Amino acid sequence: MKKVVLSISAMLFVGSVAFAQTGAGPVAGVNGSVVAQSGLSQDALVEQMGTNQKSKIKQTVQSNEADVFQGAKPGTMGSPNKSASNTADIDQAGIDNNAFISQNNWDNNATQKQVGNENDATIWQDEISVSLSSLVGDDTATQTQTGNKNKATIDQGTSGNAPIPTMSVFPLMTSLTSAIPLAPHGKNDATQTQKGNFNEAYASQGGMRNRSIQNQDSNGRSTSASARNVSNHYQFGDDNYAMSTQTGYRNLDNILQEGTGHKSFTTQSTSVIGTGNNSSVSQQGNNHISNVTQSN
């Protein structure tokens, strides 16, 4: 087992940390990393290859960036199986921070937490396999943001393609009956929670037994149509499930589901200031259920 522990404190200082770790192969070798940074414009980059990798990054203050790659990087989809059963955790506090986690092949867990305004968090989980019969999925992604004007994106099994399906983000799309995912995924779970105003959450899942949950809590009072929380779910595959809960004013929820056995639940609320909420649900396939509740 290789373990790297880095602790860097640099108040009002520009700095960066980058390191790579490689296990003994796709099923052997355990690496661990811990990075702590405090200051302005800090950069942390962790690259790990193998199984049972663990990475934790914590950054505070402003304009920081954290990137964790466990397995092959996005854009190298021709690589064979190289990574599985990994855990990554990024925790950022401050404004204008960016967090990105990329994981493959399966049974991965990614968690990101951001507190502050104008932050961006992305989790990318995909399978890379020579044999399609070995695609098993079972990844978990969780993101929590507290503050205003934040953006959260989770991509599971759609080859890093979020947010491709458009019709300007997808009001009642009817084309697109196949093709976005590189290959089917297995059991994936995506959860995003945002507390604050004018935030955006996007979950893109290409697989079989997917679940996507997004909760947004707002007390925003703007009358501008663009100053609102936005929740978007895109699910491609089988037995999919999407649930959105939004509180506050001027919320927007869009759901696009392709495949069989889909379910969709949306709950929105408003107390009149800034006027009402909008919901769009497009289900393309069999056995769909949709339940939308809006209140004033």
Characterize the bridge pairing of strands 263-269 and 151-156: unpaired
Q: What's the pLDDT score for residue 107?
A: 84
Q: What's the pLDDT score for residue 134?
A: 58
Q: What's the pLDDT score for residue 261?
A: 78
The Cα–Cα gap between 154 and 204 comes to 6
The SS3 call for residue 134 is helix
Give me the residues paired with residue 39 across strands.
61
Counting Cα atoms < 13 Å in the Cβ hemisphere of 171 gives 4
pLDDT per residue, tens digit, the chain (296 aa), is 444 444 433 333 346 766 667 654 444 457 789 999 998 899 999 998 888 889 999 999 999 999 999 887 766 655 555 678 899 999 999 999 999 999 887 788 999 999 999 999 999 887 765 555 555 667 899 999 999 999 999 988 766 555 556 555 555 555 555 555 555 567 789 999 999 988 999 998 877 788 899 999 887 666 666 667 889 888 887 788 899 998 877 788 888 888 777 888 888 877 665 566 888 888 877 787 777 777 76
Q: What's the pLDDT score for residue 278?
A: 82
Q: What's the pLDDT score for residue 131?
A: 56
Domain boundaries, given as residue ranges, for the chain: 38-295
The Cα–Cα gap between 226 and 223 comes to 9
The SS3 call for residue 264 is strand
Q: What's the pLDDT score for residue 112?
A: 97
Q: What's the pLDDT score for residue 195?
A: 93
Give the count of beta carbons closer than 10 Å to the beta carbon of residue 46: 27
Nearest to 156, CA basis, from 188, 201, 108: 188
* DSSP strands (E only) in 23-167: 31-40, 42-51, 54-62, 65-70, 83-84, 87-95, 98-103, 109-115, 120-125, 137-146, 151-156
